[in-house]
Each structure stands twice: as C-alpha cells, then as structure tokens.
Structure 1
Amino acid sequence: MKIALIGATGYVGAALLEEALNRSHQVTALIRHPEKLPQRANLTATQADVHDVAALSEQLRGHDAVLSAFNPGWGVADIREQFVSGSHAIVAATKAAGVKRLLVVGGAGSLYVAPGKQLIDSEGFPAEYKEGAEGARQALNQLRDEAELEWTFLSPAAHLEPGPRTGQFRLGGDDLLLKDGQPGHISVADLAVALLDETEQPRHVRQRFTLAY
C-alpha cells in the first residue's frame, strides 16, 4: 500500500513508521523537519504543515490511506486549540485529496469508565494532560460527524509505554480496558501493530477502537 504518515518522527509516529516499513509499504512521511529521518527503502520524507490544507491535500493525493499521529506537542500553550484545528485541517485535506481512508491515533481520555462518563472527566485525571486530552476528544467528536471518509480512530490503553512488539493484545470499543481492575497498558510498538492491521484489513470503519494487554 501507499501510505501517507503524518507525524512520523513523534513517539507514536516513529513506531507507525517502523511497522509500516517492516511490512514493505511505501510510506510518505509528512513532517516538519524531514532531515530528521535517515534515508530508507520505500520511504519518502517531505516537509509538511498540517494547517495548510491546500498544500497538504496535494501531498496526500494518490495515497491509499492517511495515518495521522498528529500531536501539537505537550509543551504547547494552546494545545487544545492546535489539536482541534490541526485535526480539522487533516480531515479537510484528506477529503480534498480524494483519499477515502483516514486512520487517526488519539488519546485514552475519551474512553468510557462508566455509562456517560469518560476517563478525562474522572477525579484524578492528570491536570498536565487534560488540555491535550480534551483536544483529542473534540477531534474524535468531529470524526463521528464525518460521513464521507472511511475513518478509524484508535485510542490506546490508559498507559502507553515503550516496550517490545508482541502482537498479542485485546481489542475493545469505546470503553477503557482494565486488567485486574486497573487501567490497562500497551506498548507503542503494539499500538502500531494494531493500526497497521486495521489499515490492511479494516474492521473498525467509522468507529473508534482501543487495545490493551
């Protein structure tokens, strides 16, 4: 497949890039600083600004799928606004490019911990992550209203960590996955496995899903 990957040098994006290349996909990495990526077979690194819809749509044109690991950065003061506006621009550019398949990695904050109650609204949710999590929740809500694209939104387990690629994990829907009554874990390498599996064999079109060990 020909895959456009947004945010390929980030924590999640780097894992997605590795998994996609290991599966012999042709990857266009759309990043702010393409010089950060070494040359590799099947990889084209291109400078991109997700907020420039016209330019981004041209860069996405001709791909089979767009994978977005977009994150403005946890140190950004207006991270919520940046998250929402960037996500909106990526959706618009994907549609303008004529690419039907958009897969987005978001956060765990919008997963449900009880009927009508999401993790982000729970007591004790870390304050330093709340604005970013709210941006990701709003991005998901935008996608839920999107009828033209064949979108998928992947929320990781509550704890997303470095770790080995095992290929062994549980999948879920909109509810936070627990293990022994505690929020679950997943390695970023296995999150990449799940998203590339979904890219190759869609099972959650116009749905959100999650995973954990």
Structure 2
Amino acid sequence: MKVVVIGATGFVGSHIVNELISRNIQVTGISRNEKVSDKNNLKYVAADVKNVEALAEILKQHDVVVSAFGGGWTNPNIYEDFINGSKAIQQAVKQSGVKRFITVGGAGSLYLSDGTQLVDTFPQDNPFLPGAKAARDYLDILKEEKELDWAFFSPAIDMHQGITIGRTGKYRLGTDYPVMDDDGKNILSGEDLAVIIADEVENPKHHQMRFTAAY
C-alpha cells in the first residue's frame, strides 16, 4: 500500500507518518520544505498545497491520501488559508485519480448534548476560534463531495502536545458527538490519533462521513 501524508512534519502528521511506516506501509510525506528520510519506506516531497496541478502529480499512483494540513495556529489569516488550502488538496486528490481521502480536522464541529457545536461555545477572544471555525466550515464543504471516498476525522477535544499518555493502541469510535470516558473527559494522545488513522487506512470503516474517537 502507498499512502501520501500531507502536513507530514507537523505534530499530527509526524505521528501518522511514524505509525504508517511502522506497519511497513510506503509513505510519501508532503511538507512545505524538503526533508531527508533515513527509512526505506518513507520519502519526503516539498510542495505548495495550493498548486493543484503540481500536487495532483505527486498524489498519482497512491492508494490513499491523508491530510493533516493546518493553516498555522499563529497565522492571522488561518481561516482563509485553511479553507483555501483544504479545498485545493481536495481538488488535487480528485485530479490525481486517488479515490480514498482521509482528512484530519478539528473537534470544534463536534456536537454537544444540547445540539450546539463545540466551536460555538468558544469565547470570541479564544485564539483557536478562527482555526476551529475553518475546520468546521470545511467539513460542511466536504459533505458535498460525491466523487471521493472521503472521511473526516475529528480528534478528541483534549488532544494536544501536552497529552503524554503515548501509544496505547486502544480507543473508542464515535461519529458526531465526543466520546466521553467515565469521568466525562474526552481525551486522546497524538500517538493514538495516528493509530486510528492508520487503522482507517488499512481497514476503511467510514465512507463520506465524519468520525471521532477517544479513550
């Protein structure tokens, strides 16, 4: 199996790359800058995701495209950049002929028990609000996609670099609502996010839908 990971050197993307290559899957990692790999089943390619034609050429002859693209949390234009970049990636996947597309979005579009979305509970001065809104709005765009066999993954609400649980290989799946533990917490490590994505790559369960997971 040959898989492309877009955003391969970021926090989420690097975990996904590591999990995939540990399973002897051939990985092409795409990032803004060239990087040298010391693994036989991993190569890095520098690419601008907004260059649809060039990106589509790189994606050809792969089985799955995984996007961990992010607009940069400190980027003042993150909303526009994330939407435009995500739409360009989606178009490049279609042009490449690859049918399976898995994208990692945010938890902000998950629904709470009262039917509101998490992002709508953020205070207006929350620095993550523009990025969370962008991921939520891109999911609405992706829901209109009929040609690709896509899946949109929303991580747990509490999934960040400060989570030190590591790789357990254990998780519970959900769809539109956060998966809560017995203490009412919604937690996931970066390593186990990668396990979930790699499992979905190898054994697809979610088709043209959003899914989520946590402990």
- Alignment pair present for 1:20 and 2:20: yes
Cα distance change on mapping 1:122 and 1:101 into 2, 3 Å: same
**Aligned AA for 2:53?**
A
1:41-190 superposed matches below 5 A: 41-122=40-121, 124=123, 127-160=126-159, 161-180=163-182, 182-190=184-192
Task: Give aligned-pair identity as a percent.
Answer: 45
Q: CA deviation at 1:184?
A: 0.8
**Aligned AA for 1:7?**
G
More displaced 10-residue stretch of structure 1: 77-86 or 120-129 = 120-129
1:22-41 superposed matches below 5 A: 22-35=22-35, 37-41=36-40
SS at match of 2:57: helix
**Per-residue CA shift, 1:112-163, capped at 9, x if unaligned?**
0035310001155871110000110111111100000000011011001343
Unpaired stretches in structure 2, ≥5 consecutive residues: none
In structure 2, distance between residues paired with 1:66 and 1:187: 22
SS at match of 1:112: coil
In structure 1, distance between residues paired with 2:78 and 2:5: 21
**Per-residue CA shift, 1:173-212, capped at 9, x if unaligned?**
1012222453410001001101110111111111111111
TM-score, normalised relative to structure 1:
0.95
**Aligned AA for 1:152?**
A
8 Å contact kept, 2:105–2:135: yes
Unpaired stretches in structure 1, ≥5 consecutive residues: none
More displaced 10-residue stretch of structure 1: 109-118 or 144-153 = 109-118
In structure 2, distance between residues paired with 1:154 and 1:123: 20
8 Å contact kept, 2:122–2:129: no
In structure 1, distance between residues paired with 2:120 and 2:158: 17
In structure 2, distance between residues paired with 1:126 and 1:173: 28
8 Å contact kept, 1:106–1:155: yes
TM-score, normalised relative to structure 2:
0.94
In structure 2, distance between residues paired with 1:183 and 1:163: 14
Runs of 4+ in 1 over 4 A off after TM superposition: 123-126
SS at match of 1:114: coil
Q: CA deviation at 1:63?
A: 0.4
What is the aligned residue count?
A: 212
SS at match of 2:71: coil
Whose strand fraction is larger, Structure 1's or Structure 2's?
1
8 Å contact kept, 1:72–1:79: yes
